[in-house]
A and B are shown apart, each in its own frame.
Chain A
Amino acid sequence: MAQRRPSYLRVFLTFARNSLVRDTMFRTNFLLQCISSAGWTLMNVGFYLIVFQHTPLIGPESGWGKYEFFVFLATTWLINSLVQTFFMTNADDYSELIRTGNLDFVLLKPIDTQFLVSFQKMDWSSLSTFTAGVILLVVALWQLTTRPVHPLSISPWMVGLYLFYLCCGVAIFYSLMISLASTSIWLGRNQTLYDFWFYITNFARYPMEIYNRGWGVPLWGFFTFVVPVLVVVNVPARLLAQPLHPQRSLSWQLACFALLATIVSLLASRWVFQRALLSYRSASS
């Protein structure tokens, strides 16, 4: 009998529907989770509103004024919320699948193991942060495009590139996350995955210029070229909020590098995932 190739799109949509049904079974809990996610975002905006009462820019001549930075902040939320919606729960579960030996059942399924491990569950409530990100982005862009001095003009090209690099950012974060989760095969258990993930991605939450001083330069180099988390938010946010930046050629070099970093990250994570899988020994009979 000829083996049929599974429709990945249909499987993905089934996963999405099942997760939505499961999430909305406990409606109050779902609503509270949405409100709580939105609450953290509000608190963040509050903090930066206070910060911008004391400074016009983050970094001298960096171009990151109040609304430019809010574009940056919104981009951070959009990328993080997508990663949390689609991958965070699955990466957490992957460690447990390995520890308990239930990965055996995943390996037996006639579909790519990495796909199955990565998309099995979705946390729909994290999309409330996505909504908050869209609202903040629209408000910030409205302010930038209607300001009397040097109003920003946005072309369809910029929007297209922004969305493209948003996907690249998600891909880099996903690569890092699945690589970290794969280490559970060698470590047996990786309970601090979320902590470690938070500490590394924390560096991506600010414009990369802030690290370009003192002992921050090695950190800037490490988190740009070795673990490229700094390009994740910086490139899309820069393309949209600072198209007239004096170092425009540098921005484009960075954009090209981000594309390369995405491809290399995805390939490297695939390699790590498969290498780790070769070391997997079932935990039960």
Chain B
Amino acid sequence: MNAALARAAGWWTILCIALEERLVYRGDFALGTLMRFLPIVTQIFLWWAIFDTIGHGTRDSANIVGYSFSNMVAYYLLTMVSRAFSSMPGLASGIALQIRSGEIKKYLIQPIGMLEFLLLSRLAHKLAYYSVAVLPFLLVFSICRGYFVDGWPAWDLLAGYVAALLMSFLLGFFLEASIGLIGFWFLEVSSLLFIYMLFNFFLSGHMFPLDMLPAPWDRLVSMLPLKYLAYYPAAIFLGKVPREELIGELWIEAGWVVFFIVTARVAYRLGVRRYSGYGG
């Protein structure tokens, strides 16, 4: 019991330190978040022109794979929220760097696991980010509220949306950590990371709604875990996921989370076994 309490107290301390560290740059955070919405402006006009073309001058009468113009803009805004949960900038490259530089030694001699420490630091980073980014997000969403034509989703969809977002955080973390841990075998993982980022940007739905993919790519991509990082939470919110499929899909997402937790843990254990540290 005491050991569990001591462990929880340790985690709490790490979380508090990481939070304080992150909140030093709150002004930069807020401005950066607001600026990140700028590319959406060009996306709005691109899709506006496309919907005008399809609807012969009246964008509201047109739709693409079930998305009206308003749905499309709302989709891009919602993927920004998904990415705020699932993106893990610098995680994989940071792990690989710690392995290469030998900094990873500290986790071997201190009473805290590397994955736990990094997860708590990332959690603190996200909490600090949300606490500051909530204002720019509220500002942009209130300006663009007209694009959410169907209003808030029903409570069960909303619960599914929140669950999908929380799991997207865990999935993003353990997926990237697994890639970073490949650094135990290949010291340089930047090229691998780049390929992952490329696929992630395209196949997570960050660039466009995945429903637009033609067959057989749509089926192939729907089998990958990447769609849970951006597309899936947004699709739930917009009512694009049928209710009868919602629970099943959430279980599949949970399955992917468990798969990558196990992968990251096994990779760390095997990696530490072959790791050699020299010097002080």
Instruction: List chain A positions with a Cβ less than 8 A from chain B.
Output: 32, 36, 39-40, 43, 46-47, 50-51, 53-60, 62, 192, 195-196, 199, 202-203, 205-207, 209-211, 213-214, 216, 219
Please name all residues of chain A whose beta carbon is closer than 8 Å to the beta carbon of B212 when the two chains form the complex. 50, 53-54
Chain A to chain B contacts (Cβ below 8 Å), 16 pairs:
A43-B201, A43-B202, A43-B207, A50-B213, A53-B212, A54-B54, A55-B53, A57-B53, A60-B49, A60-B53, A60-B56, A62-B49, A206-B42, A206-B45, A210-B45, A213-B48
Q: Are the C-beta atoms of A54 and B45 separated by less than 8 Å?
A: no
Please name all residues of chain B whose beta carbon is closer than 8 Å to the beta carbon of A56 when the two chains form the complex. 53
Q: Are the C-beta atoms of A55 and B42 separated by less than 8 Å?
A: no
B35, B46, B190, B195: which contacts A195 (Cβ < 8 A)? B35
Please name all residues of chain B whose beta carbon is closer than 8 Å to the beta carbon of A214 when the two chains form the complex. 48
Q: Are the C-beta atoms of B38 and A210 separated by less than 8 Å?
A: no
Please name all residues of chain A whose beta carbon is closer than 8 Å to the beta carbon of B195 when the two chains form the complex. 39
Cα distance A203–B190 when bound, in Å? 30
Shortest Cβ distance from residue B207 to the other chain A in the assembled complex, whole angstroms: 6
Interface string of B235-278 (1 = CB under 8 A from A): 00000000000000000000000000000000000000000000
In the assembled complex, B140 has its CB within 8 A of some CB on chain A:
no
Q: Are the C-beta atoms of B42 and A36 separated by less than 8 Å?
A: no
Instruction: List chain B positions with a Cβ less than 8 A from chain A.
Output: 32, 35, 38-39, 41-42, 45-46, 48-50, 52-54, 56-57, 64-65, 190-191, 194-195, 198, 201-202, 207-208, 212-214
Cα distance A237–B247 when bound, in Å? 49
Closest 8 CB pairs of A and B: A59-B49, A210-B49, A199-B38, A210-B45, A32-B191, A55-B50, A60-B53, A54-B64
Q: Are the C-beta atoms of B42 and A202 separated by less than 8 Å?
A: yes
Please name all residues of chain A whose beta carbon is closer than 8 Å to the beta carbon of B45 when the two chains form the complex. 206, 210-211, 213, 216
Cα distance A204–B145 when bound, in Å? 27
Shortest Cβ distance from residue B229 to the other chain A in the assembled complex, whole angstroms: 16
